[in-house]
Amino acid sequence: MSKRLKTTVAGVLFACTCFTIPSGTVSAADLGGDPTPYPAPMPPPLQIERWTGFYLGGALGYGFGDGSASGDIGSFSFDQSGLLGALYAGYNWQIGRSVLGVEADIGTGDFGTSDDNAIGSLRSSLNVIGSLRARYGFLVTPALLLYGTAGAAWADMDFKVVGDSTQSETFFGWQYGGGAELAVSESVTLRLEYLYTDLDSERVVHAITTNDYDPSFNMVRAGISFKF
């Protein structure tokens, strides 16, 4: 091969190499050679589409309120407070973003009064409290329910006048309130609610005195429910 031919071939090979190297670099980038990492996909948000069904649950909270007493011990008002716990069961129907339901509960606690005044001394304590209520709620999100509730309530309480006997009496009345409930899984919800209980006055006959008592109280409680 002549010297001129060798020089020509070398020039052609050099030119091919210069064009090939950038082309190869672009192709590598197009094939994913860029080292810049892509962000990991976020998990989808929790979606609870259906609230219809039975549920059971339990709640714990604090009660506070007042009441009045009148009769042979005179007339005065008294305060009540203490811890309250309850078990509840209910059923929900979901219609679009609305949830209709009915719920019953029963509970007890260290709730009552110890009132001393110039007229007399009164002791009261709660034995049991229950209610049967309707609920209506609106789904702010598929997992968050805001609701109101109202219905009938009853409570059995002990009353003691110092120097007289202890007597129990069952009171009937109304209960209403509202709250928020959050679905944390397909079968578990958490709730925070407020309930007001307005009970009618009842006459209690002790061994020596006869008195009328009219208790009422508020409850703030947190609960957990299990859907079936």
Whole-number pLDDT of residue 76: 82
Specify the pTM: 0.76
What pairs with residue 147 in β-bridges?
A: 137, 179
Whole-number pLDDT of residue 115: 73
CB hemisphere CA count around 13 (13 angstroms): 6
What pairs with residue 166 in β-bridges?
A: 160
The H-or-E segment that residue 135 falls in is: strand 121-141
Across 61-89, b (16+ Cβ under 10 Å) vs e yields bebebebebebebeeeebebbeebebebe
Compute the C-alpha angle 85/107/176, nearest 5°. 95
DSSP secondary structure letters along 11-64: HHHHHHHHHHHHHHHHHHIIIII--PPPPPPPPPPP------EEEEEEEEEEEE
Per the CB < 8 A criterion, the answer to whether 102 and 91 are in contact is yes
Whole-number pLDDT of residue 26: 45
Whole-number pLDDT of residue 17: 46
Q: CA nearest 172: which of 150, 201, 134, 212? A: 201
Whole-number pLDDT of residue 12: 43
Whole-number pLDDT of residue 117: 63
Whole-number pLDDT of residue 37: 58
Residue 11 dihedral angles phi and psi, to the nearest 5°: -65, -40
Segments in the chain below pLDDT 70: 1-49, 117-120
The H-or-E segment that residue 3 falls in is: helix 3-28
Whole-number pLDDT of residue 43: 56
Per the CB < 8 A criterion, the answer to whether 203 and 212 are in contact is yes
Whole-number pLDDT of residue 14: 46
- Give the rounded distance of the alpha carbon of 222 from its chain centre: 6
Whole-number pLDDT of residue 50: 85
